A and B are shown apart, each in its own frame.
Chain A
Amino acid sequence: MAPAIMLAADAPRLSSANTGFMLICSALVMLMTPGLAFFYGGMVRVKSTLNMLMMSFISLGIVTILWVLYGFSMAFGSDKGSIIGWTSDYVGFSGIGKTELWPGYTIPVFVFAVFQLMFAIITPALISGALADRVKFSAWSLFLVLWVTIVYFPVAHWVWGAGGWAFKLGVIDFAGGTAVHINAGAAALGVILVIGRRVGFKKDPMRPHSLPLVMLGAGLLWFGWFGFNAGSWLGNDDGVGPLMFVNTQVATGAAMLAWLAYEKIRHGAFTTLGAASGAVAGLVAITPSGGAVSPLGAIAVGAIAGVLCAMAVGLKYRFGFDDSLDVVGVHMVGGVLGSLLIGFFASGKGQSDVKGLFYGGGLDQFWKQCAGVFAVLAYSLVVSAVLAFLLDRTIGMRVTEDEEISGIDQAEHAETAYDFSGAGGGVIGSLAASALAATQSKKVDA
């Protein structure tokens, strides 16, 4: 996030260009959550596709309401002890004037608030990939409410809020490496350590049911991520946003190639899932670092993230935790890498004059990055595990074993993702469905 441009004599005025740009960026970031839903949805088995989609979509509802009611105030209200924010005018968005500017910037408060809302929506949605096939929808919804309130809103304040401790320390997190990706990845790890593995983990084949959906989702994420990253400077007056845009593309391309090269050497094939995963790993890693590194540095950050994340996703089998769709392996590992690599690759020519080790700046910034990374990681992991534990002991986190085996879509949503009966493949299914429809219309007649 940009430091406030405070020119004493010349207070910022509303810029239509920046405001329009930021509204478009907000819409781009919104699209990432459906993109994520498809990215995850394609990776699960047919029987839990809808549940996976819904775990992301429900966040668009729940977090939106919480954000208006109190989330924005907690994250970006005036600082209370470097830990949390609160501004009563922000509660319910009720005291925000429509032309009131976000302090130090050229865009209205409403624009900043809605842009940040999209981040608050996608962050908990990211966690859902680790919990595939097995979590009650009611428990997930309640977890969302508690998690954003106790974890996301405070962490966003630490990292981006004026007065937040990490912000004051000088931790660089351009667009959410710590607040979004490490935060979500660590939370995923905390929850799965409590709720345990899927039935049949490591025994039954759990291959992705639709790789085209995964590719579609990855494409939407990549597209939306330009808003996520370039928009995080909140304007284009000094060229940092465009640099971020360029680095986003460069690092993502490099990471995709690196992941593909690694798996070709290691496993013998260039896979579509590898391409999609590598792209997302690169997007994650450049998120904190893209404003600080040069385009050549972005190639290095992307390539390192591509290879190390490809290696990291195998660890769950060794340690035996069921991070179903590799939220820890991609988002936590990618976020940590991107955040720490700033300490080496910061060029001094981007968002600030801070230089990393490879540009003659020593290790000073690296230690600051470490502080931000490990504080967020530890806080999110512990609190998320406790939340999951409390929910599991009260309302129960998991569906029954029978429901999990026969499919969470039918148990929790009373629907089936795909109707294969129409095309001659399932005559019996379509006859049964029309028989049911006939009974229902009779009931209406009577």
Chain B
Amino acid sequence: MKLITAVVKPHRLDEIKEALQAFGVHGLTVTEASGYGRQRGHTEVYRGAEYTVDLVPKIRIEVLAEDDDAEQLIEVIVKAARTGKIGDGKVWSLPVGTAVRVRTGERGPDAL
């Protein structure tokens, strides 16, 4: 099993959700995040004082996937998240040891 994590632009959430649903993913977790990559932040001006805002708002999407689906799922997310402009974000995956569905106690792929 893999945990796929995507840190992407907030306004792409709906596209990503729809693409994942179309692929057959049943659940995901979204958290608000902030960060920067190579685009760095932006500048704001208040009464002439310039502030560099380093951390840009992002969302972090987490999805559990079976090993065989993981690469394809990453492709789905990347395609849905892409605007082609700087700051589109990153997607990565990690191996998962155990997953349990809390209500039933099912483990492994059955828990997805």
Contacts and interface: CB of A to CB of B under 8 A. Distances in A.
A243 interface: no
Q: Is the interface of B mostly helix, strand, loop or mixed?
A: strand
Interface residues of A, number: 18
A267 interface: yes
B56 to A, nearest CB: 14
Nearest to A271: B45
Given A271-B45, A314-B48, A314-B49, 14 more contacts: A205-B51, A205-B53, A207-B46, A207-B51, A208-B46, A263-B48, A269-B45, A273-B46, A273-B47, A277-B47, A313-B47, A313-B48, A314-B47, A317-B49
Contacts of B32: 425
9 contacts: A205-B52, A205-B53, A267-B50, A271-B46, A273-B46, A314-B48, A314-B49, A326-B47, A425-B32
B45 A263 contact: yes
A310 B53 CA distance: 23
A326 B48 CA distance: 12
Question: Which 5 pairs of residues, A with B, have the shortest CB-CB distance?
Answer: A267-B45, A205-B51, A314-B48, A313-B47, A207-B51
Q: Most chain-A Cβ atoms within 10 A of its Cβ — which of B32, B45, B47, B53?
A: B47
Chain B interface residue bracket vs A: 10 to 19
A313 B46 CA distance: 10
Contacts of B45: 263, 267-269, 271
Contacts of B44: 207
Contacts of A326: 47
A310 B48 contact: yes
A269 B48 CA distance: 10
A274 interface: yes
A98 interface: no
A393 interface: no
A239 to B, nearest CB: 38
A79 B58 CA distance: 66
Contacts of B48: 263, 266-267, 310, 313-314
Nearest to A43: B46
Contacts, number: 31
A267 B49 CA distance: 9
Interface in B39-84: 44-53
Nearest to A310: B48
Contacts of A267: 45, 48, 50
Contacts of B51: 205, 207
A267 B46 CA distance: 10
Contacts of A314: 47-49
A425 B44 CA distance: 25
Contacts of B53: 205
B50 to A, nearest CB: 8
Nearest to A262: B48
A89 B105 CA distance: 84
Contacts of A263: 45, 48
Interface in A164-197: none
A20 B44 CA distance: 47
Nearest to B54: A205
Q: Most chain-A Cβ atoms within 10 A of its Cβ — which of B45, B51, B52?
A: B45
A274 B44 CA distance: 13
A143 B48 CA distance: 31
A271 B47 CA distance: 8
A274 B49 CA distance: 12
Nearest to B53: A205
Contacts of A269: 45
B89 to A, nearest CB: 21
Nearest to B49: A317
A411 to B, nearest CB: 25
Interface in B10-57: 32, 44-53
A274 B45 CA distance: 10
Contacts of B47: 273-274, 277, 310, 313-314, 326
